[in-house]
Amino acid sequence: MPIHENLTVDTPVADWLNPQELMTDPYPSYARLREAGDVVYAPALQSYLVPRYTALRETQLHPELFSVRSSDVNTMMERAFGGNRPMLRKDDPEHAVERQAINPTLRPRQIAQTWSPRFAQTVEHWIDHLLEVGPENADLNRDFAAPVASQNLIDLIGFPSEVHVDSLRRWSTDFIDGLSNVMSDPDIWARCDASRAEVNAVLDELIPHLRRHPDASITSHLLEVNLPEDVVRTNVMLTISGGMNEPQHMITNMVWALSTHPDQQRTVRAGEVSWGDAFEEVVRWVSPIGMAPREATADIEWFDAKIPQGATVGLLFASANRDDSVFPRADELDVTRNARGHLGFGTGVHQCAGRWAAKNAVGEVAVPRLYERIGSLMVDDSRQVSWQGWFFRGLTALPVTWD
Ligand code: HEM
């Protein structure tokens, strides 16, 4: 029996919701969902969706009602990572042990002292590369955002310098495709399996090395708290998925946003708004993670809806960030607004562990330095700009040019 036949109160039903339209441009559907209610059942996704800000925040702040664990033993995330759950699929107290292990690598002071200088070196190298590709052919995603985000993550997880940026990028893409493989496409699982084997091969050598010579990396810190080795490996794979793809998308999102809003670009470049605040506003406006799932732990009455035990609940971060009751004229980019409190990094115990690293690497290093070195950088309208996805949404191509 479909879950929605269990409903005993008038939970709004979005029978019009079309996953294909979400893939192309989810924002019109998000607007309709927000109009429909705090919790809306979507038959096409067999999920209860939470599209408004306050209800979403409350849902995330009640993990005892909305768990990240799924009773379905073979979740996409476990399948992608070879049968194990990373911290993002565990509730506290189990989750806290793994999360606390990686926090020291990613605290603001550690970012400023250890990682930011490395992010800066990487950015110089890839701006040189972008300039070599030239203003006629440059694609900011391919020639800058992807390799910069890959190299930053290679450093953060302590992988050796022989690991090529293209390998890390491929692993990240394969894992991300696996995490959203709702149709269980066997080709995607095959790619995931191959990438997992390659990551495990690197870890086979790295783990014994880091046990003897600990460093500041995420992998080293996971080992230091004596977690079982398969737990360390799974969390490294989680970090490879989210820690590369999202910063990559934020580099292109920021340049696209500032190119299409030249007045706001001038405001930021003149120092009237900090780069960090501009970064936060772009995360709010075009959030790289559109949705994350939870599971109802009991029959729950929640914001006028009744959600049955075991139902999948979709937290629509990207929609909540366009809620006008919290962010006036939310559909508009406005770098001068206070975007703090946006849900682009989630909230509660699973709030993004890498948010300070991403803000520094993308918002305070990569994008400002791009504009410093290539002052006339702009989107090249004569070539095709492409967006893709809604679970994870970003630009797959951003042709850029300069004078
Ligand atoms: C702009 C870039 C990024 C965005 C928009 C982003 C977004 C998010 C979101 C929304 C969540 C929460 C998901 C949920 O509640 O189900 C999350 C969790 C997480 N993110 Fe990020 N992320 C970004 C960058 C990074 C980076 C650079 C790293 C690592 C270096 C990272 C590591 C993680 C980890 C480990 C978790 C799981 C935390 C936990 O379960 O406690 N993220 N991220």
In the sheet with 40-42, reading across from the earlier edge strand, the strands are 40-42, 47-50, 312-315, 292-296, 66-67
| Residue 382 CA, ligand 1 centroid: distance in Å | 34
Using CA atoms, how far apart are residues 222 and 202, in angstroms rounded to an integer?
16
Sequence-ordered alpha helix ranges (H) in 134-261: 140, 146-156, 165-179, 186-212, 218-224, 229-260
Question: Hey, which of 352, 359, 391 would you mutate to test ligand 1's pocket, going by the most ligand atoms within 8 Å of its Cβ?
Answer: 352
Rounded to whole angstroms, what are the CA distances from 101 to 50, 104, 142, 230, 239? 31, 7, 33, 15, 13
Which one, of 166, 104, 126, 99, lies nearest residue 362 by Cα? 126
Question: Hey, which of 345, 349, 365, 395 would you mutate to test ligand 1's pocket, going by the most ligand atoms within 8 Å of its Cβ?
Answer: 345
| Residue 131 CA, ligand 1 centroid: distance in Å | 31
Query: 171-188: per-residue pLDDT in tens?
Result: 999 998 888 787 789 999
pTM over 0.85: yes
Q: List b or e across 170-191, with b for residues whose CB sees 16 or more CB atoms inside 10 angstroms.
A: bbbbbbbbbbbbeeeeeebbeb
Which one, of 54, 61, 58, lies nearest residue 324 by Cα? 54
If one counts every other C-beta atom within 10 angstroms of the C-beta of residue 113, the result is 11
Residue 71: the pLDDT is: 66
Asked whether residue 337 is assigned to any structural domain, the reply reads yes
| Residue 380 CA, ligand 1 centroid: distance in Å | 31
Query: 92-142: per-residue pLDDT in tens?
Result: 999 999 999 999 899 999 999 999 999 999 999 999 999 999 999 999 999
Question: Hey, which of 75, 246, 250, 347 would you mutate to test ligand 1's pocket, going by the most ligand atoms within 8 Å of its Cβ?
Answer: 246
Asked whether residue 151 is assigned to any structural domain, the reply reads yes
Residue 81: the pLDDT is: 86
Domain, as residue range, for 231: 93-292+319-401
| Residue 247 CA, ligand 1 centroid: distance in Å | 10
Which one, of 138, 170, 62, 206, lies nearest residue 370 by Cα? 138
Asked whether residue 234 is assigned to any structural domain, the reply reads yes
If one counts every other C-beta atom within 10 angstroms of the C-beta of residue 239, the result is 24
Which residues of the chain register pLDDT less than 50?
1-5, 7-8, 73
Asked whether residue 302 is assigned to any structural domain, the reply reads no
Asked whether residue 192 is assigned to any structural domain, the reply reads yes
Ligand 1 first shell, C-beta below 6 A:
87-88, 99, 156, 238-239, 242-243, 246-247, 250, 283, 288-289, 292, 317, 344-346, 350, 352-354, 357-358
Cis status of the peptide bond prior to 93, with omega within 30 of 0? yes
Residue 36: the pLDDT is: 97
Using CA atoms, how far apart are residues 35 and 13, in angstroms rounded to an integer?
12
Per the structure, the count of domains in the chain is 1
Residue 72: the pLDDT is: 61
Asked whether residue 17 is assigned to any structural domain, the reply reads no
If one counts every other C-beta atom within 10 angstroms of the C-beta of residue 36, the result is 20
Pairing of strands 305-307, 386-388: unpaired
Using CA atoms, how far apart are residues 14 and 43, in angstroms rounded to an integer?
7
Q: Can you give the CATH number for the domain in which 166 is found?
A: 1.10.630.10
DSSP secondary structure code for residue 83 in this structure = S
Protein residue whose Cα sits closest to atom 39 of ligand 1 = 350
Ligand 1 nearest-atom number relative to CA 90: 40
Asked whether residue 30 is assigned to any structural domain, the reply reads no
Asked whether residue 115 is assigned to any structural domain, the reply reads yes
Ligand 1 nearest-atom number relative to CA 287: 5
Which one, of 400, 393, 391, lies nearest residue 76 by Cα? 391
Structure tokens given for 294: 């939870």
Rounded to whole angstroms, what are the CA distances from 126 to 143, 150, 265? 7, 11, 22
Q: Look at phi and psi of residue 37 and say left if phi exceeds 0, alpha if psi is from -120 to 50, else beta.
A: left
